[in-house]
Amino acid sequence: MGPVHLKQRNLGETFAGGTYADIVESIGHTPLVELPRLSPKPGVRIWAKLESHNPTGSVKDRVARSLIEDAEAKGAISPGSTIFEPTSGNTGIAMAMICRRKGYKLKVVMPDNVTEERTQLLRMYGAEIVYSEGAKGSNGAVEMALDMAEKDSSYYMPYQYGNPANPMAHYTGTAPEIAEQLGQISAFVAGLGTGGTLMGCARYFKEYDPSIQIVAAEPLQGELVQGLRSLDDGFIPPIIDLSLLDRKIVVSNRDAVVWTKKLLDEEGVFAGVSSGAICAIAVRAAEKIDEGNVVFVVADDGWKYLSSGVYTKTIEELEADGSLESTLFW
């Protein structure tokens, strides 16, 4: 039998993403994929960092690992400890997986109008759920969790909104991966949620190349968008440093859904709705430059949102049945 000839590999390609000692160690190392059909100009290339390739399907795996390992290093938790955290779903799911793997208990506060899939995943990993008022969005979950933590000192709350370990996950992980995978970057786009992805990547990229534009995708004030927030709604996470942002662009819930469908229809990317919002802003950022690479983060895929009907109903059907107003998609 003659030699086996392997196909020529793409720049930055690795076989099977590597080999790891356990599921927690496999977090990160996600692919960067070009989306040529979405580019507004021949000289501009748009790239998506597919964080859905993490073990629980979202970028929050990076954050959860960083928060928990930081608490371990400080001696704040030990096996059997109860970790307590407000979440819109993904951070809680990621923490639940890691807590089960490491022997911690987890209790989360989450808005009561999230999609059913997130509740099921949290329970599957053994988390205890306390629901906050859905109309108040993730801000309501934060408010309730802070009040509960103040009354019960037995909980350890990493508090992703104010913990430097959150952006550090991206400063040491997400951003260096993108820089290694791509080299030259003209603009980086991420959603404005806890601030972790934006702040960690912004700090790294400004050190890597100060000319890189840092662009935030922000929901319209008052719109309940899972995982993202409008700073005009009154809560600015303590880890956010607005001076690191070059631009902050507002996107509507409707446009987020439209672009989520466009990602699926034109590029085959099955993304969560926050990623549709971020994609819309990435294309707008691409329109402002003549050539170069625009990178955005696809925070998660669409599996946790199937029950919302986003992927099977038309935008008109979603508007008619009230889904755009009543469901926390992002």
Q: What is this structure's pTM?
A: 0.88
Q: Which CATH class is domain 32-58+174-318?
A: alpha beta
Predicted pLDDT at 23: 94
Compute the distance between CA of residue 271 and CA of residue 311 in angstroms, rounded to an integer: 10
Domain boundaries, the chain: 32-58+174-318, 60-156
Active-site residue, selected from the candidate residues 66, 230, 274, 308: 274
Nearest to 67 by CA among 37, 36, 90, 34: 90
Angle subtended by helix axes 90-102 and 60-74, to nearest 10: 50
Compute the distance between CA of residue 162 and CA of residue 159 in angstroms, rounded to an integer: 6
Q: Which CATH class is domain 60-156?
A: alpha beta
Compute the distance between CA of residue 139 and CA of residue 308 in angstroms, rounded to an integer: 21
Compute the distance between CA of residue 34 and CA of residue 47 in angstroms, rounded to an integer: 4
274 tagged catalytic: yes
Query: Which residues neighbour 3 within 8 Å (Cβ) at sequence distance 6 or greater?
Result: none
CA distances to 67, 95, 170, 179, 208 from 204, rounded to whole Å, are 19, 25, 8, 9, 6
Predicted pLDDT at 89: 84
Dihedral, 31, 34, 38, 40 alpha carbons, nearest 10: 130
Distance from the first to the final alpha carbon of the chain:
53
The DSSP letter of residue 81 is P
CB 91 within 8 A of CB 158: no
**What does the pLDDT profile of the chain (330 residues) look like in tens digits?**
444 443 444 545 555 567 899 999 999 999 999 999 999 999 999 999 999 999 999 999 999 999 999 999 999 999 899 999 998 788 999 999 999 999 999 999 998 888 889 899 999 999 999 999 988 877 788 889 989 988 888 899 998 888 999 999 999 999 999 999 999 999 999 988 778 999 999 999 999 999 999 999 887 765 554 445 445 555 567 788 888 999 988 888 888 999 999 999 999 999 999 899 999 999 999 999 999 999 999 999 999 888 888 899 998 888 888 776 655 544
Within 18-78, strands assigned E span 32-34, 44-50
Q: Do domains 32-58+174-318 and 60-156 have the same CATH topology?
A: yes
Active-site residue, selected from the candidate residues 49, 60, 262, 304: 60
Query: Which residues neighbour 198 within 8 Å (Cβ) at sequence distance 6 or greater?
Result: 190, 191, 192, 214, 216, 240, 244, 245
Question: Edge-to-edge strands of the sheet including 155-156?
Answer: 128-132, 105-111, 82-86, 155-156
